[in-house]
Amino acid sequence: MNKKKHNRELSSYQEIQIAEEYRNLSFTVVLVRPEHSGNVGSIARVMKNFNFKNLIIFNPIESKENIFSHESQGFAMHGKEILMSADLKEVEDQKNHMTEYEKLLKQFDLVIATTAKGKKNSNIRRLAIFPMDISLPNSVQPLNIAILFGRESRGLTNDEISLADILLRIPTGLDYPALNISHACGVILYEIFKKLYKINIGRGTHPVLLADREDRQLLQRLILNIINKLKTRTHKKENVKLAFRNVFERAIMSKRELSLITGVFSKVNNILEELNLYEQKSVSS
């Protein structure tokens, strides 16, 4: 296996790369009337986990002091900068809540709301799709997308949901369908993250690089050489070759795995060569 090529691949390796068709998408998490500062901090943390940076806290029930407190920052951990740079929008007169809410959503090109309800199809206002089923738009121009999460106690109201373009619901067990808001946010952001990014196998400073076609063909030639040395019957030879190829192709081997397997077959090949030489000498003598 070419070590220089392997080292080049390691040095240029990136575990995740945003898909080219989604580079113009910008996401903002919008918390509508959050009630507990700890959840706000935890959401900032999970946003950091999945590369979401923009946070709006709209008309919170929790106080501004508690939302930005040291305790809330503790929940945010490495997402502290997301929490501290969040845009907090307060509504002084609660009669204006929906007016200000509608004004806020006008700055977005696409609005995604979330709900824990909607298991029954009878509620036409809460017909939701699952996060894994959402299709992200391709856009040549920048596209601003909002993801709305409602109050911890009762979520978004029907009126708030009515202003959204898409409604998401996380499938759960029947006995207890409501997730903690930060957990729900984590699930939904993860599903969107998987769509936004091309994710390679491996992590950290020791990524797993998949064996390429050239490496796999090298192993196949080695196996074929062994099959020939074993004097496998002609009518079986092709099937045995195909069986090995099919098994190794389905396995999606890493370069390291292929290297170890190739090493074993290489030793087997060398042993067979030595045996063949020994047999030839015995016959000639």
Same domain, 37 and 101: yes
Same domain, 92 and 117: yes
**Tokens at 189, concatenated:** 């952001």
Rounded to 5°, the CA angle 175-179-184 comes to: 140
Same domain, 129 and 61: yes
Residues 206-230: tens digit of each pLDDT: 566 677 778 888 888 888 888 888 8
* Whole-number pLDDT of residue 246: 84
* Whole-number pLDDT of residue 7: 60
Same domain, 157 and 259: no
What pairing do the DSSP bridges indicate for beta strands 25-32 and 54-58?
A: parallel
242-249: long-range contacts, CB 8 A cutoff, minimum separation 24: 244/220, 245/220, 248/216, 248/219, 248/220, 249/216
* Whole-number pLDDT of residue 120: 58
Q: What is the dihedral sign for C-alpha 124, 126, 130, 136?
A: positive
* b/e burial code for range 17-47 (CB count within 10 A of at least 16 → b): eeeeebeebebbbbbbbbbbbbbbbbbbbbb
Q: 149: closest CA among 55, 7, 47, 30?
A: 30
Same domain, 220 and 82: no
Same domain, 280 and 188: no
Residue 127, in any domain of the structure: yes
Q: What is the mean pLDDT of each run of 10 residues along the chain (285 residues)?
A: 59 70 95 97 98 97 97 97 97 96 96 81 69 90 96 94 94 86 96 87 59 82 86 78 82 80 90 82 72
Residue 7, in any domain of the structure: no
Same domain, 226 and 275: yes
- How far apart CA 23 and CA 20 sit, in angstroms, is 6
* Whole-number pLDDT of residue 283: 73
Residue 34, in any domain of the structure: yes
Instruction: Give the single-character DSSP code of 124.
Output: G
- How far apart CA 11 and CA 98 sit, in angstroms, is 52
DSSP per-residue codes, 139-168? -SS-EEEEEEE-BTTTBS-HHHHHT-SEEE
Cβ-in-10-Å burial (0-12, 13-18, 19+) of 196 comes to buried
Overall number of domains in the chain: 2
Domain interval for residue 215: 208-284
Same domain, 107 and 248: no
